[in-house]
Structure 1
Amino acid sequence: MTTSGLRRDELAAFLRSRRTRLRPAEVGLPDGVRRRTPGLRRQEVAQLAGMSVDYYIRIEQGRGPHPSRQVLAALARALLLTRDEREYLFRVAGESPPPSPGPSREVSEGLRHLLDSMTLTPAYLVDAKYDLLAGNRLATFFVGDGVTGEPNMIRWMFGRPNADASWDDPDVRRFARTSVADLRAAYGRYPGDRGLAEMVTELLGVSPRFAGLWAEHDVAERRPVVKRVPHPELGPLEFECRVLHVPDADQRLIVYVAAPGSPTEAVFHRLAERVSS
């Protein structure tokens, strides 16, 4: 490691490993003639990153100048690095990782299958901004058909009038407080996201309750809370609202967990039978 924090050998080894794992077709290049070694050639990485071949070779051989942040960003794009890999690249190069551009809205196939397999439990997926991305069939009884319309859960929550009776419930107020604290954490992670900034500005102007919580500057990821819901169709329900974080996408899988043998569990079972018939 140098005095600047650059770990040349580790940076070189990491770049070589990421280069050899990629196929030309993955980055829009023709496969061409048969290759003696797997992955991209050095000149192809240099071409994709917009730098000279000699400069890239020197970095991959652990010599040459300290790569700039612009060079690192170009290499991250060229090598199709994930968010974690990009952060690692910057750190071994002695630089602070750049902020992510915005909350991920991509729903992986694995998460879609997981949601569909949870036939007895309402569950839905939101991004770090609390935009609703996907949900299972039981979730529609709680978030409506919006699982396909992609509403925003924070806007929905603070769109209720300040005099709404639901605000008298301490669990509702605690749920709102933790949601705003989680949103502020995302606000700090994505300083360049226009949609997130515009939503916060909008809510500050239309919701005094949101403005009051935002002014407290609490920063925290969501924790599970017990919710008591007077559902207009299903009657009184009580369940734990469990928030499961999806680190690679910075998303939240929100699951309504009823206690075993409880009346709420029985309601969930009846709903499951209704939607499956």
Structure 2
Amino acid sequence: MSSTDLGEALHAWRDRVTPEQAGLPAGGRRRAPGLRREELSRLAGISADYIVRLEQGRAVNPSSPQIIEALARALHLESGEREHLFRLAGLAAPGPGTVPRRITPGVHRILDRLRDTPVAVYDATWTQLLANPLYTALIGEWTGPDLNAAWRAFVTSTTRVRHTPESNGALQQLLAADLRRTSALYPDDAALTDLITQLRRRSAHFADLWDTGTTAEHQSSRKTIDHPTVGTLTLDCDVLHVAGNHLRIMAYTAEPATEDAQRLALLSVLGTQTLSG
């Protein structure tokens, strides 16, 4: 198979996904009903220029498994289509010993129906795979290593969530224990192994927590968020676990008829307008 085959398949799949299916605003009149390259770029976390080169068959040695996986998620590919995409890229699809990073159609449908709720999907390593516009407006837009919650907690400290030393310590302890649990479930995942190695290297506190051998599963909580536009919101943060693939759906909700609910409603207008402008 050639790079031209890969480009044609990507273009066809991009044309098939509507902005509404991807949780994006329609954005006025369109020449074609599918995603624009810039929209696919934002959803997959890949530069629009690289997507152009992939579609035009100009990318040499096209893509790492992480990029192909991100494209498969953004394009809502079924299991067989995902495997075909890996073959077109000259790569082997991740096997059963690796962390599942494919968002199932059912989870996509759940997100489609929760557009007025800040929702994101994380894999078992606590790497964000997908976030709807309201989640991004509330929490911020992550890129690179900061897509991983443990990296943010131990290395960069990038967050809008208000923490005390006690709550931050509890979060770090829970994330380290959760990652240890995940590493036992997926011992052959190279990306997970590399994440743990880098966290141990960059954070002595993570290394100490890791060496305790404690395992745990991340729990739901109540969080206070300092937002730069709408102010402070205190919200319930619930984590729903998808059976079989250990995906985590994180959703923020406000108690009805409260100032927090009013501010979240305001953000649903102001925040998504900013993202689509």
TM-score range, shorter chain: 0.5 to 0.7
Residue 150 of structure 1 deviates from its aligned partner by 8.4
Corresponding residue for residue 223 of structure 1 = 219
Distance in 1, Cα, partners of 2:157 & 2:174: 19
Find out whether 1:136 has 2:132 as its counterpart. Answer: yes
Letter in 1 for 2:142: G
Mapping for residues 1-80 of structure 1, pairs under 5 Å:
none
Q: Secondary structure at the match of 1:233?
A: coil
Corresponding residue for residue 113 of structure 1 = 109
Matched-pair contact (CA < 8 Å) for 2:230–2:267:
no
Single out whichever of 207-216 and 249-258 deviates more from structure 2.
Answer: 207-216
Distance in 2, Cα, partners of 1:276 & 1:196: 32
TM-score by length of 1: 0.57
Change (3 A) 1:263 1:104: same
Find out whether 1:213 has 2:203 as its counterpart. Answer: no
Find out whether 1:158 has 2:154 as its counterpart. Answer: yes
Change (3 A) 1:212 1:226: farther
Find out whether 1:177 has 2:173 as its counterpart. Answer: yes
Q: Secondary structure at the match of 1:146?
A: coil
Same amino acid, percent of matched pairs: 26
Matched-pair contact (CA < 8 Å) for 1:140–1:147:
no
Distance in 2, Cα, partners of 1:159 & 1:273: 33
Note the alpha carbon deviations across 1:79-125, whole angstroms, 9 max, x for none.
Answer: x9xxxxxxxxxxxxxxxxxx941111111222122213212321100
The one of 220, 238, 244 aligned to 1:242: 238
Which one has the largest radius of gyration?
Answer: 1
Structure 1: runs of 5 or more not aligned: 1-79, 81-98
Residue 173 of structure 1 deviates from its aligned partner by 2.7
Letter in 2 for 1:265: A
Instruction: Count residues in correspondence.
Output: 178
Letter in 1 for 2:176: V
The one of 95, 99, 103 aligned to 1:103: 99
Letter in 2 for 1:238: T
Residue 247 of structure 1 deviates from its aligned partner by 1.1
Distance in 1, Cα, partners of 2:146 & 2:129: 6
Residue 149 of structure 1 deviates from its aligned partner by 9.5
Note the alpha carbon deviations across 1:222-269, whole angstroms, 9 max, x for none.
Answer: 111111222333322211211100012211001112222222221111
Distance in 1, Cα, partners of 2:252 & 2:262: 13
Q: Secondary structure at the match of 2:183?
A: helix
Find out whether 1:122 has 2:118 as its counterpart. Answer: yes
Change (3 A) 1:259 1:158: same
Change (3 A) 1:260 1:232: same
Distance in 1, Cα, partners of 2:154 & 2:124: 17
Distance in 1, Cα, partners of 2:236 & 2:170: 13
Find out whether 1:168 has 2:189 as its counterpart. Answer: no
Distance in 1, Cα, partners of 2:222 & 2:156: 20
The one of 218, 228, 232 aligned to 2:228: 232
Residue 208 of structure 1 deviates from its aligned partner by 2.2
Q: Secondary structure at the match of 1:159?
A: helix
Matched-pair contact (CA < 8 Å) for 1:112–1:134:
no
Change (3 A) 1:233 1:214: farther
Q: CA RMSD in A?
A: 2.9
Letter in 2 for 1:119: R
Corresponding residue for residue 47 of structure 1 = none
Note the alpha carbon deviations across 1:156-184, whole angstroms, 9 max, x for none.
Answer: 2222369xx96634333322322222111
Matched-pair contact (CA < 8 Å) for 2:176–2:210:
yes
Structure 2: runs of 5 or more not aligned: 1-78, 80-94
Runs of 4+ in 1 over 4 A off after TM superposition: 147-150
Distance in 1, Cα, partners of 2:270 & 2:229: 14
Letter in 2 for 1:207: S
Q: Secondary structure at the match of 2:188?
A: coil
